[in-house]
Structure 1
């Protein structure tokens, strides 16, 4: 008997200095979603010099000036256009390889990857099934926020952040959620923006956050 074709996809983007393998555990730990077969993709960032680490070359989607990432971080960092194009290309490939529609794909990421997921999701040419940002922040704030209204207002968002994060300040995750929610208030047919904080959690993803992520996947994987 032929195996069931994939019905959905999850693409998850790692953070600074990590690799796709660092988040591949999601494929093993996520539950089986009823009547859905999910293919997972965990891309690797290119290696490039990073300012916050004294110019050391490491896997990075774009340059970061300082840690902790705060409200003074540059809005339009070097390398971002190339990484957006790379993620868009991966979405296209996953859709083509598995005969999916864009609404069957969820894009997510952690930290730098969370910032990338909000950026790449808002600029992709079609509406995805959902977008996840864990411990991340907004890039190109004005255009990014504006892009989540209009047609993209129908894309559900999950934004999670530890309330003791000293690498990417929690206030940045809250700002992302608040600004997108406010922008969507005037959009017809807008989907939810879920923002959750996790008590005592630093720059990581605790069990409760991963459970909430699984619940989000269950809701948006169509």
Structure 2
């Protein structure tokens, strides 16, 4: 019987197998009752790929991703709906409450994780964004400080990332943290923000160790 589930979304052009190593990379998990789910993104035309189709949670205009990237890109609402349905399915199949579900992702998948977790009807047990950025910030960020203020968040970013600029991860963490300031003590979850010197667009061993410690903490 599983006590928690981690749903983790891959990035642009990738497949679920690209991140299936995650359960093996987190050292304590062979002995933990955790379910890992790696959903596939739909295939659709992507502007930064010259309009050619590839796996993508939503359209991206330019690489590197900067603050000028659209806040509500084409296809994002369909993907949010799909992810919410996956959460519902995982809850049902493993008989778990929302508080035992952790939603995470890398790059484009990390952006979707922040958005889908903040718009889900119930608060999840945690949210992970690796090398990602914020979407639909006028609605998602306020939700992190109100209806979903108890959800712990892990945001990690390589300081040498030239695909999704590190400043985007920093601004996500800062804005969410700022929105939670001044709330009642003990009722607001921590935003953990970690940066990694020399890391590009990926996840180094140090980041995976930090993530493992964070997951251990939030699944106690």
CA distance in 2, matches of 1:163, 1:35: 33
The number of aligned residues is 218
CA contact (8 A) 1:88 1:120 kept: yes
Corresponding residue for 1:41? 37
CA contact (8 A) 2:99 2:124 kept: yes
2:200 aligned residue (185, 199, 202): 202
SS in 2 for 1:90: helix
Q: What TM-score comes out, normalization by structure 2 length?
A: 0.96
Corresponding residue for 1:10? 6
Where do 1:169-180 residues align within 5 Å? 169-180=165-176
Corresponding residue for 1:50? 46
CA distance in 1, matches of 2:150, 2:50: 41
- The runs of at least 4 consecutive aligned structure 1 residues that moved more than 4 Å come to 33-36
For the aligned residue pairs, the C-alpha RMSD in angstroms reads 1.2
CA contact (8 A) 2:24 2:30 kept: no
2:158 aligned residue (147, 155, 162): 162
Where do 5+ consecutive residues of structure 2 fail to align? none
CA distance in 2, matches of 1:126, 1:187: 19
Corresponding residue for 1:64? 60
CA distance in 2, matches of 1:134, 1:11: 13
Deviation per CA, 1:110-143, whole angstroms, max 9, x where unpaired? Answer: 0000000000000001111110000000001121
Shift of 1:34: 10
Establish whether residue 106 from structure 1 lines up as the match of residue 102 from structure 2.
yes
